Amino acid sequence: MVATSAAPPPPSNRPASASPSPSPPRDELVADCRVRAATDLLMHRWDPVVLAALDEKSRDRSALRAAIGQISDKVLGQTLDRLEASGLITRMRTRTAPPRAVLSLTPLGTSFCRGPLQALGDWAETHGDDLLDAMSAGGDHAVTAEAENGVRAYSGTPHPSG
């Protein structure tokens, strides 16, 4: 049996007196429910689309649905319920006849849109075509029109066919 030793860690640029990084160790990060909760915001197909539409301006449900297009009323309702439960949007009931609700981002929703969602959109704008090409070359895992529309929705780039 041959004994191997682990390579020493690379030298740190930090002075010896500096305190350790506040980031959790990688194995703790994987189990961190805060990270999972944040990434879950991208797991539902319509969540980022609805958030991006509300980042432009507050809207009532019908105006939101018209702005998004191709979303059923049932799925929009489920999406709005999920985003409201996550603290990302609010519904302000009006006193008009008939009553309606105006949907708006909360400060938490705005920070998500202008932070990680914007960064993802920027990345998709730069690398989206490369990603789609790689996915298409994957054989059995070829990209579908739905996946292409999803990637392009994040970047704000309209699909060439419509």
Q: Do the domain assignments include residue 80?
A: yes
Residue 145 reports pLDDT greater than 60: no
Q: Do the domain assignments include residue 162?
A: no
The whole-chain average pLDDT of the chain stands at 79
CB atoms within 10 A of CB 116: 15
Q: Do the domain assignments include residue 102?
A: yes
Confidence at 121, pLDDT banded by 50, 70, 90: very high
Q: For the chain, how long is the longest CA-to-CA vector?
A: 82
Confidence at 37, pLDDT banded by 50, 70, 90: confident
pTM greater than the 0.85 cutoff? no
Residue 17, helix vs strand vs coil: coil
Q: Do the domain assignments include residue 21?
A: no
Lookup: tokens for 10: 């690379």
CATH number of the domain within which 78 lies:
1.10.10.10
Number of domains in the chain: 1
Q: Do the domain assignments include residue 11?
A: no
What pLDDT score was predicted for residue 29?
61
- What mean pLDDT do residues 27-45 have? 81
Q: Do the domain assignments include residue 32?
A: no
Domain of residue 108 covers: 37-155
Confidence at 35, pLDDT banded by 50, 70, 90: confident
CA distance 103 to 123: 28
User: What does the buried/exposed string (b/e) look like for 119-152 if buried means 16 or more CB atoms within 10 Å of the residue's CB?
Assistant: eebeebeeebeebbeeeeeeeeeebeeeebbbbb
Lookup: tokens for 117: 């969602």
